[in-house]
Amino acid sequence: MGIRITPSILNSDVSDLRGELAKIAGADWAHVDVMDNHFVPNLTWGLPVVEAILPVSPVPLDIHLMIADPDRWAPAYAEAGAQSVTFHAEAAAAPIRLARELRRQGARAGLALRPTTGVDPFLELLPEIDMLLIMTVEPGFGGQSFLDSMLPKIRAARRAVTEQDLDLWIQVDGGVSRETIERAAEAGADTFVAGSAVYKAEDAAAEVEALRGLAEGAHRH
Ligand code: DX5
Ligand code: ZN
């Protein structure tokens, strides 16, 4: 199972996004949190900012849409060239149709679950998506504590992926750090968002490698 580190630029220095992205050239993807002040009580950026950073990012963009009505808004991110677009199960009216549309546009399609959303109702539609994002904090803000209560959900998702023999990434987002990444990896996550852990570190690039090493070590055991 491969490991992917996908740092979130949410709490980077947004006055210098180009420079902040350059720091994570050794990561696999850059995770971009789009919030609409409706689905979550916070507002960040949208399509114009994603369009602006796509050509200057050293790594592909992993867009995490924390927005209402993704059926209407998500396809434009794929059309703009974002390599992965994740929408929330709680917000989508027709998740299968939307996932198919994102794939048709050439993006990887991701489905995100809030902490209180169970994975069971979505097990049948896993073949329709490329990544399942299990939130390990309530979405909306960086810097919150990892919810250990999500570990059983990660395990259940991993079991389903193994049973169905799918090529599906399991991403965790929220409170991922040197203290928590091994637990998430042992439970079956393979794709790790880390916001404050990476951007509050003295050396962001070294932090990415440290997280990668811990996750790989946890998978080996
Ligand atoms: C929170 C966002 C996360 C956030 C994670 O709703 O989805 O991607 O940036 O930040 P940390 O790693 O600080 O918890
Ligand atoms: Zn996120």
pTM for the model stands at 0.98
Annotated catalytic, 62?
Answer: no
pLDDT tens, position by position, for the chain (221 residues)? 799 999 999 999 999 999 999 999 999 999 999 999 999 999 999 999 999 999 999 999 999 999 999 999 999 999 999 999 999 999 999 999 999 999 999 999 999 999 999 999 999 999 999 999 999 999 999 999 999 999 999 999 999 999 999 999 999 999 999 999 999 999 999 999 999 999 999 999 999 999 999 999 999 98
Residue 196 assigned ligand-binding role: yes
Both tokens of 162, joined, read: 């193994």
CATH topology classification for 4-220:
TIM Barrel (3.20.20)
Annotated catalytic, 173?
Answer: yes
Residue-wise over 63-78: b if at least 16 C-beta within 10 A, else e?
bbbbbbebbebbbebb
State whether the beta carbon of 34 lies less than 6 angstroms from ligand 1: no
Domain ranges of the chain: 4-220
Nearest CA to ligand 1 atom 12: 195
Nearest CA to ligand 1 atom 7: 139
Residue 10 CA: which ligand 1 atom is closest? 9
Nearest to 111 by CA among 61, 160, 125, 79: 125
Ligand located closest to 198 CA:
1
100 CA distance to ligand 1 middle (Å): 26
Pairing of strands 191-194, 4-7: parallel
